[in-house]
């Protein structure tokens, strides 16, 4: 791997790497890979293609992304006609996404906390996507019932909310707990999951999401396209679990 950039920020060290063999570019926050893309900025993560395809099924319009990383989802949404706004607490994330991952300059980017942005924002959005992590978990203030009530007020009547949630295994109830908080806030909830797979991304969605269809990639990357298609085909919609295995209860929310 070639090191393209290293940035020390108040949120930790960020490294941008490039594969000598394929040209793939990775955005690493500490020990965590937050984004990986082909040389054109198209994601190599199946869950990003799933989010892209799900959002694209909603009414085209205003999309708010909380969390940037390499900005690949924003790049892909802009390419299919959505108007994208990105909010991230780390200014380096936005700068690196524009410099190394091809995040379009015309995307409206803001530095700050996503919840604070929604509290002062007067516009409504057709979709809100939360893909923000502290380690491998979404910050507590971006996953609470109170936050989802705020998000609901900032969604258009037909709007949808999407969260990328990392789970360790089938007994990890984190995604289901978040879906339960969405429902408490008045947002009908649904999950897109890959049961049986360890250390996976689950998409938790709320609002006008019950008619969404299984996602297929809308933009094909130049690297690992077959693997991405295969992963998407393994994803299944499911309802939130109302009761969780005892082994998962210690994680809390």
Q: What share of the chain is helix, strand, coil (3-state, %, to 5)?
A: 30, 30, 40
Nearest residue to 208 via CA among 232, 175, 182, 180: 182
CATH architecture for segment(s) 43-251: 3-Layer(aba) Sandwich (3.40)
The string of pLDDT tens digits covering residues 27-39 is: 888 777 778 999 9
Low-confidence residues of the chain: pLDDT under 50? 246-253
C-beta separation of 162 from 189 below 8 A = no
Helices (H), 64-204: 72-79, 91-100, 114-120, 145-153, 174-184
Q: Please, which residues bridge with residue 130 across strands? A: 66, 163
Supply the pLDDT for residue 191.
98
Q: What is the DSSP string of 62-79?
A: EEEEE--TT-HHHHHHHH
* Predicted TM-score (pTM) of this structure: 0.92
The string of pLDDT tens digits covering residues 215-244 is: 999 999 999 999 999 999 999 999 999 765
Count of CB atoms within 10 A of residue 18's CB? 17
Supply the pLDDT for residue 246.
45
Give the domain ranges of the chain. 43-251
The CA-based diameter of the chain, rounded to the nearest angstrom, is 48
């Amino acid at each position: 791997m070639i090191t393209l950039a290293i940035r020390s920020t108040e949120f930790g060290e960020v490294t941008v790497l490039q594969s000598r063999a394929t040209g793939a570019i990775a955005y690493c926050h500490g020990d965590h890979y937050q984004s990986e893309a082909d040389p054109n900025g198209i994601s190599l993560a199946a869950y990003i293609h799933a989010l892209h395809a799900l959002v694209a099924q909603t009414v085209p319009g205003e999309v708010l992304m909380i969390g940037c990383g390499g900005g690949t989802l924003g790049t892909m949404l802009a390419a299919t006609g959505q108007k994208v706004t990105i909010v991230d607490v780390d200014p380096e994330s936005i700068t690196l996404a524009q410099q190394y991952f091809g995040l379009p300059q015309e995307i409206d980017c803001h530095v700050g906390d996503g919840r604070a942005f929604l509290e002062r924002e007067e516009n409504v959005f057709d979709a809100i996507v939360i893909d923000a992590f502290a380690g491998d978990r979404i910050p507590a203030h971006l996953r609470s019932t109170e936050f989802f009530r705020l998000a609901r007020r900032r969604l258009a009547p037909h709007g949808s909310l999407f969260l990328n949630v990392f789970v360790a295994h089938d007994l990890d109830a984190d995604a289901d707990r978040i879906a339960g908080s969405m429902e408490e806030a008045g947002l009908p909830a649904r999950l897109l999951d890959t049961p049986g797979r360890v250390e996976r991304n689950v998409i938790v969605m709320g609002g006008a999401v019950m008619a969404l269809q299984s996602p297929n990639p809308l933009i094909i990357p130049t690297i690992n396209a077959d693997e991405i298609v295969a992963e998407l085909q393994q994803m299944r919609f499911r309802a939130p679990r109302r009761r969780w295995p005892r082994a998962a209860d210690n994680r809390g929310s």
